[in-house]
Amino acid sequence: MRETLTIKDTRLMISEWKSEGLSIGFVPTMGYLHEGHCSLIKRAVSENDRVVVSVFVNPAQFDRKEDLNRYPVSLEEDREKIAMHGGDLVFIPKAEEIYPQGFNTLVEVENLDRELCGATRPGHFRGVCTIVNKLFNIIQPDKAYFGEKDYQQLKIIKTMTEDLNMPVKVVGCPIVREEGGLALSSRNARLSAEERKAALVINETLREVKKRVEEGERSVGPLRREAVEKINLVPGVRVDYLEIIDEKLLQKVEEIEGRALAAAGVFVGKVRLIDNIKLG
Amino acid sequence: MRETLTIKDTRLMISEWKSEGLSIGFVPTMGYLHEGHCSLIKRAVSENDRVVVSVFVNPAQFDRKEDLNRYPVSLEEDREKIAMHGGDLVFIPKAEEIYPQGFNTLVEVENLDRELCGATRPGHFRGVCTIVNKLFNIIQPDKAYFGEKDYQQLKIIKTMTEDLNMPVKVVGCPIVREEGGLALSSRNARLSAEERKAALVINETLREVKKRVEEGERSVGPLRREAVEKINLVPGVRVDYLEIIDEKLLQKVEEIEGRALAAAGVFVGKVRLIDNIKLG
């Protein structure tokens, strides 16, 4: 496996592969890889001739400095995991090269960023769009892989890519979970044993919402209220948001009619976790 | 010369050329081509294997509906001019395909859009950046050509392209002028004979500013005041802005030290014209 630290070296490797007519899959990450990331890499390897994984903790998408500073890093293990799953290149850019002095450009998807994480993390998705746009232009992949855990992120990146006519196919991949149902996240590493147990209530509650919808409940009001109450009852756990939204427009609905999504952002201790489940 | 009306057909043509290893030059226009545009096409032809010219009156960059509705169109003559100067493909997209329902994405360059046209045309440069970003992704040119008349636009597009790591070289080309010094513009077609004569004061005044700087004047205050007064004295002519700015940061300066630019936006009757001149 190759490793590049600069945009120039990365472009050189990519253009060599392009000149050989090889297809390129891309998995952008912030490192501290877990099985969720590994599932993206495996999928990319199965669908492309060469696979690039980037590891970059993007300061532009953190609304809370505390969250950025505490974001876990494990470069050695990341390298091993990427190589083990068949990645061909790991690109580890420096923040100074990604955001040089005088950097002034932003990419933003409007409307889709109003609810969920967009409502409580100002500027977050602008930061995500801008870095993903840059990475797409550097790597020029045929396909790029994102997890469905960050459903809003996936939707926003798909929209950005289509709206801007970027020649990249954005592929969404299923959430990977621990045995108890907790969605894998690099942030889980910051949970104590007790918190990890408490965090199970998130997916448990979302599954209950799904079950009640399958049983015929259509009215969002009571569904949502009871779900929030249930989660907030667990000591040390606090709902940041829990919404039932239209799967396409990402807008709140009052009645569940077409394809909908229940999505939650929940603080477990100081760690903010997200999860979602498709309804109907 | 080929002509495409859809993104798909354009991509097909481009990918054929790319697969042959041909370099691609790109000249984005809003049509109603004049000698300024032709100079861009000629430059592109001299530097690339294939040249694409787009003709698209971009609604997103017009802050005044009146200006959009009155923007002149001359598709027949445009085609002839593009072919005559060696263009290989003219791409004439439809607004419905460029901005389909649910279009939500914008690209913006901050800070550089504060002065000049950015100060008086809200959203204008966001519209310019977004369409140019889209066209770059569709055409995937090696080089793209823009006139220096829209100096702020050129600077902003260069910044966007570099900030987002787009693999395109943005080339600025000198202003082309009529004999009396009036900068060529598609909007000149809307001037009466009298207005066209009155409009000469714009370049005349900018040249005077340059001369006074060459003679040693460094203080922007009096230079600017006298220039605005001189232009506003001409009946039917009104300064929208006239500023002396740092050539790199596009911020107003009080003393001319390094490379500076005098730039003006001027209403002649109902038509808004722009021009600029490099100082020092």
- The pLDDT of residue B63: 87
- The pLDDT of residue A216: 95
Q: Do B163 and A137 touch (CB under 8 A)?
A: no
Residues of B belonging to the active site:
37
For residue B103, is pLDDT > 80? yes
Q: Do the beta carbons of residue A234 and residue A273 sit within 8 Å?
A: no
Choices 3.40.50.620, 3.30.1300.10, 3.40.50.2020, 2.120.10.30: CATH for A186-275: 3.30.1300.10
- The pLDDT of residue A94: 97
Residue A111: list chain B partners with CB under 8 A: 104
pLDDT tens digits, one per residue of A3-54: 999 999 999 999 999 999 999 999 999 999 999 999 999 999 999 999 999 9
Mean pLDDT of chain A: 96
For residue A55, is pLDDT > 90? yes
Q: Do B108 and A103 touch (CB under 8 A)?
A: no
Residues 120-139 of B with CB under 8 A from A: 129-130, 133-134, 137-138
Residue A100: CB atoms within 10 Å: 10
- The pLDDT of residue A111: 94
- The angle, 0 to 180 degrees and rounded to 10, between the axes of the packed helices B124-139 and B7-19 is 50
pLDDT tens digits, one per residue of B178-232: 999 999 999 999 999 999 999 999 999 999 999 999 999 999 999 999 999 999 9
Instruction: Name which of A102, A109, A134 is nearest B165 (Cβ-Cβ).
Output: A134
pLDDT tens digits, one per residue of B122-163: 899 999 999 999 999 999 999 999 999 999 999 999 999 999
ipTM of the complex: 0.95
pLDDT band at B53 (very low <50, low <70, confident <90, very high): very high
**pTM for the model:** 0.95
* Dist CA B54 CA B52 (whole Å): 7
User: A106 in contact with B at a CB cutoff of 8 Å?
Assistant: yes
| Chain Cα centroid distance, residue B101 | 27
Residue A166: list chain B partners with CB under 8 A: 137
Residues 218-277 of A with CB under 8 A from B: none
Task: Identify the three-state secondary structure at position A94.
Answer: coil
Residue A104: list chain B partners with CB under 8 A: 109-112, 159, 163
User: B152 in contact with A at a CB cutoff of 8 Å?
Assistant: no
Q: Do A133 and B164 touch (CB under 8 A)?
A: yes
**Domain spans in chain A, listed from the N-terminal domain onward:** 2-173, 186-275
What CATH code is assigned to B186-279? 3.30.1300.10
pLDDT band at B4 (very low <50, low <70, confident <90, very high): very high
- The pLDDT of residue A170: 98
pLDDT tens digits, one per residue of B7-30: 999 999 999 999 999 999 999 999
Q: What is the mean pLDDT of residues B24-37?
A: 97
Residue B109: list chain A partners with CB under 8 A: 104-105
B143 has which bridge partners?
B25, B169
User: A112 in contact with B at a CB cutoff of 8 Å?
Assistant: yes
Q: Tell me the residue type at B18.
A: K
Q: Do B160 and A110 touch (CB under 8 A)?
A: no
Residue B45: CB atoms within 10 Å: 17
Alpha-carbon dihedral of residues A208, A211, A212, A214, nearest 10 degrees? 160
A26 has which bridge partners?
A52, A144
* Dist CA A126 CA B236 (whole Å): 44
Token pair for residue A149?
Answer: 């855990």
Q: Do A134 and B164 touch (CB under 8 A)?
A: yes
Q: Do the beta carbons of residue B220 and residue B262 sit within 8 Å?
A: no
Shortest alpha-carbon distance between residue B214 and chain A (Å): 30
User: B51 in contact with A at a CB cutoff of 8 Å?
Assistant: no
User: B12 in contact with A at a CB cutoff of 8 Å?
Assistant: no
For residue B280, is pLDDT > 80? no
pLDDT band at A67 (very low <50, low <70, confident <90, very high): confident
* Dist CA B256 CA A125 (whole Å): 40
Mean pLDDT of chain B: 96
Residue B174 is classified by DSSP as P
User: B164 in contact with A at a CB cutoff of 8 Å?
Assistant: yes
pLDDT tens digits, one per residue of A90-125: 999 999 999 999 999 999 999 999 999 999 898 999
Homologous superfamily of domain range B2-173: HUPs (3.40.50.620)
Q: Length of chain B in residues, anyone?
A: 280
Task: Give the sign of the dihedral formed by CA A8, CA A13, CA A17, CA A23.
Answer: negative
* Dist CA B54 CA B71 (whole Å): 16
Run of H or E including A35: helix A35-47
Q: Is B163 exposed, middle or buried (0-12, 13-18, 19+ CB in 10 A)?
A: buried
pLDDT tens digits, one per residue of A201-248: 999 999 999 999 999 999 999 999 999 999 999 999 999 999 999 999
| Chain Cα centroid distance, residue B145 | 10
